[in-house]
Structure 1
Amino acid sequence: MQTKPMPFDRIIRLWAKQTNAPRKGKQDMETKCSRFAEWLGHEDMARVGFENCRDYRDAMIDESDLSSGSILNHLKLLKALFTYAFDNEHITSNPMARIKYSAGERKEREDFTPEERKLILILARKAEPHVYWVNWVCSFLGTRTSEIADASTLDIECIDGIWVMSIDRKHRSRDQRLKTKVSTRKLALHGALLDEGFLDYWRSLPTGGPLFPNVPLDTYGKRASRVTAECSIWLRNVVKITDPNKPFYSHRHTAT
C-alpha cells in the first residue's frame, strides 16, 4: 500500500516535461486537476480511488453547467495524468483506468424505483441539512443540484398565498450562474416539502444568506460542487444505490 504523498502539481511538472506539453496544455491540465483536487478536498494522487473518480464524473454530469464536450475533455486529461503516474510508478494503481464517458451519457440515466425513492427520502432525514433538503427538493421539484445548492433564503417567497422557490440569477453571485436563461423560473413548493417542514428550516436561517450556510464555498465561489459530491457519495455509501446508471441526477427523471 502506497503511503508516500504524490501531489498533483509534482506529477504535472514531470508529465509536462516528458511529453513536451505546450504551455497552454500544461495550464489546462493544472486547471482540470485543481478543480478535481478541490472536489476531493486534498491534492494527493496516491489517495485517489476508483470510487472518487466515478463520483466526480457523476458530479460533473449532475452539475449541468458543463457541456458534454467539456466533461469528456476534463476526464481525458485526468486519465492521461493518472496513466502517466501509474506507468512511471509514481502511484501503485490507476483509478481512472475504468472510468468511461461518452457525449450521449446524459441520456442514459435511469429513474429511481418507487422503493428507492422512498428509501432515499427516509434516510435523508438523518443526514446533514444540505443532504436532507437537496434530496427532498430535487425529488419533488426536479431541480438541478446546483440550482438548490447555491440558492439564497431570498429565493423562497409567498406569492398570492402560494409558496414558491425562484430559480434565477437575482440573488446569486456571478460565480453561481445558472446553466441558461431558460433555467430561470418559479416553482411552487410541493405539499410534501411543506409537510416535511422545509419552511421551518428556511425560517431558522438568517434572511438574505445562503440556503445552506453550513456548506463552505469552493475556490470557484460555489457550494454546488461540494453538495453534489457529498450527495453522490451519500447515495452510494448510505442508501447503497451503486448502479452507475442511477446517479443523484436521476432525481430529475423521477420528480413528481
Structure 2
Amino acid sequence: MVHALGTPKRHPQSGIYLFRKRVPERLKDFIGKSEIKFSLQTRDPVVARIRNLEEMARLARAWSEIGGSVVDGTRHAAICVDCKTAGSGAAAAAALAAGALPPPSAPAATATANTPVALRPIFESYAKEAELAPSTVKRWSPVLDRLIGHLGHDDAAAITRADIVAWKDALLDGDMSNVTVRDVYVAAVKATLQYAVDQGRLAENPAAGVKVRVREAPVERDKGFDGKEAETILSATLRKPSDKISVEMAAARRWVPWICAYTGARVNEITPLTRRDFVLRDGIWMIRIRAENNKGRKFREVPLHSHLIEQGLLDYVKTRGSRPLFYDPRRSRGGKDSNPHHKKVGERLAEWVRSLGIDDRVAPNHGWRHRFSSIARVVAMPEDVRNIVQGHAGTKVADRYGETWPLVALREIEKLPRYAVERET
C-alpha cells in the first residue's frame, strides 16, 4: 500500500497519487471503516511523497489524541472523526469537549526541545534513505543553504512556523515565482523537516500546513504541437545536418522527434536508448523504455510504427553497436548524475526546436506527448492502451493483455496517421 518512507500508491488509470492507511484495530468501530483512502491531488511523485508524509503525520496525531478509548455506541455517530482532515485534531478536540472521550494521556516525548538538530545532516540522511534522484538533491541542496542563511543558524529544532512563513514571504518579495517557492523551496523544507519528525529528531514539523497560493496560469492554446508545428519540426529533421554538430547530435535531431511523435514518450526516455532497448516480440519490433529512465519507475515496451522502420531507424540502431544512440560517453565533459548526458541531449534538442520558430507557449519536447494523446483519441485508441503506451498505467493494467500485448499495441499504434513531410532541398 504505502512504502516505509511514505511513497504513496499511484492510481493506474489517472496517474494521480492516493493516500492509503489501514485503521488500527482498536479504532475501527469508532471511525467506522477499515482503511482511510483519498486523493493527494497530484501526479508528481515528489509532491505526492511530501503530501503523503504530511497526511500520515496528521492522521497519527489524530489517532493518538483519540488514544484508543472506547466510544459509547449511542454517541458514535455524533462524534465520528473525518479522517481525511483529522490532522488538525479538530474532530478529536470536539469529541473531548462533548465528553465522549477522556483526556488523552501525554504522548512520550520523541525529541528534546533543547537538543540542537543540524539541518544539513538531516537533509543528507533523508536524501540517502529516500533515494532522492541526483537532480532533486542538486535542486534542493541550495534551498536548505538559503534557509540557513535567512535564519542565521542551522538548528532545525529552533525553527518555528513563523520562521518558515517569514522566509516564504521574503522569497516572494524577492520576485521569485509563487510556483517555484511552493514546489521547490517550501516543498524541500517540508519534506526534510517531516523526515526529522519521522526519525524522532523533532516533535513537530514547523513547515506543515504552510501554503503558497498560486494563481492558475491562463491557458491560451493547446499544450501539444499543432499540425503546422509538427510539420515544421519533422521537415527540419530531414535537412542535411551541420558539420558543427556531432554525429550523435545529428542523429538525435533526425530521430528523436519522429520516435516521440509515434510513441508519445518523454524525450528523456528516448535520448538514453541503446541497441539493446530494441527488442523483437512475436515478430514485432518494440522499444523497451527502461524503468531507470521512466518517471513512473516502471519499464514498458512500445511497438515501432511501420513508418519509423521504413525510414531506416533500425538500420541506424545497428550501426551503434553497444553505444548509446544519441550521445557518445567518450566525449562527455564530466557529466554528473544530477545532469546526465542524455538529459543534456534533450536540452539541446529543445533549443534547436525553439530555433525553428515554434510557439514558446508549447514545451519544445513535451509537445509531442500531448499531440500523441490528442491524435490517439481521434483514432479511437482505447484509453487503457494509450495509458500503457505513454507510461501512465500501472503494471496491473498492462498485465491484463499478457502475451497479446505486442499485437494489441501494434494494432493501435498503426492507427496513427503517417506524417507526410518532404525532405527539404
State the shift of 1:190 in Å.
0.8
Answer 1 or 2: higher relative contact order, Cα 8 Å, separation at least 6.
1
Pairing 1:236–2:354 present: yes
1:179 match: 295
Report the count of equivalent residues.
169
Aligned to 1:248: 365
Measure the CA separation in 2 of the matches of 1:150 and 1:233: 18
TM-score normalized with structure 2 length: 0.34
**If you compute each CA radius of gyration, which structure gives the higher value, 1 or 2?**
2
**How big is the shift at 1:231?**
1.3
Residue aligning to 2:223: 110
Q: 1:141 aligns with which of 248, 252, 263?
A: 263
Query: Per the alignment, do residues 202 and 71 of structure 1 end up closer, same or farther by CA in structure 2, a change over 3 Å counting?
Result: farther
Q: Pick from 325, 331, 351: which aligns with 1:211?
A: 325
Q: Is the 8 A contact 2:224 2:366 kept in 1?
A: no
**Superposed CA offset, 1:178-233 (max 9, x none):** 2124x4211100112112211111011013x3222336373116233202211111
Alpha-carbon distance in 2 for matches of 1:144, 1:196: 21
Structure 1: tracts of 5 or more residues without a match:
1-11, 26-67, 78-101, 170-175
Distance (whole Å) between structure 1 residues aligned to residue 148 and residue 259 of structure 2: 48
Which residue does the alignment assign to 1:40? none
Please list the CA deviations of residues 34-70 of structure 1 after superposition, one character each: whole Å capped at 9, or x if unmatched. Answer: xxxxxxxxxxxxxxxxxxxxxxxxxxxxxxxxxx889
Structure 2 unaligned spans of 5+: 1-142, 157-178, 189-213, 242-249, 373-415, 417-425
Instruction: Map 1:1-256 to 2 at 5 A.
Output: 19=150, 22=153, 72-73=183-184, 110-126=223-239, 127=241, 128-169=250-291, 176-181=292-297, 183-207=298-322, 209-214=323-328, 216=332, 218-220=335-337, 222-237=340-355, 239-255=356-372, 256=416
- Pick closer, same or farther for the CA change 1:22–1:197 going to 2, 3 Å: farther
- Cα distance in structure 1, aligned partners of 2:315 and 2:259: 14
CA distance in 2, matches of 1:134, 1:254: 15
The AA in structure 1 aligned to 2:325 is: L
Q: Secondary structure at the match of 1:165?
A: strand
**Residue 142 to residue 178, structure 1, CA distance change in 2 (3 Å):** same
Aligned-pair CA distance for 1:236? 0.8
TM-score, normalised to structure 1, is 0.54
Q: 1: CA distance between counterparts of 2:232 and 2:305?
A: 19
| Structure 2 CA distance for partners of 1:71 and 1:205, relative to 1, 3 Å | farther
- What is the Cα-based RMSD across aligned positions, in Å? 3.8
**1:20: Cα distance to partner?**
5.5
- The one-character-per-residue Cα deviations of 1:101-141 (angstroms, maximum 9, x if unpaired) are x6977x98612111211111110223511122111111111
Q: Give, in whole Å, the separation in 2 of the partners of 1:71 and 1:158.
A: 45
What is the DSSP-based 3-state SS (H/G/I as helix, E as strand, rest coil) of the residue aligned with 1:187?
Answer: strand
Amino acid at match of 1:214: D
Q: Secondary structure at the match of 1:228?
A: helix
SS of residue matched to 1:234: helix
Q: What residue in structure 2 maps to residue 93 of structure 1? A: none
Contact 1:138/1:144 (<8 A) preserved: yes
CA distance in 1, matches of 2:318, 2:223: 35
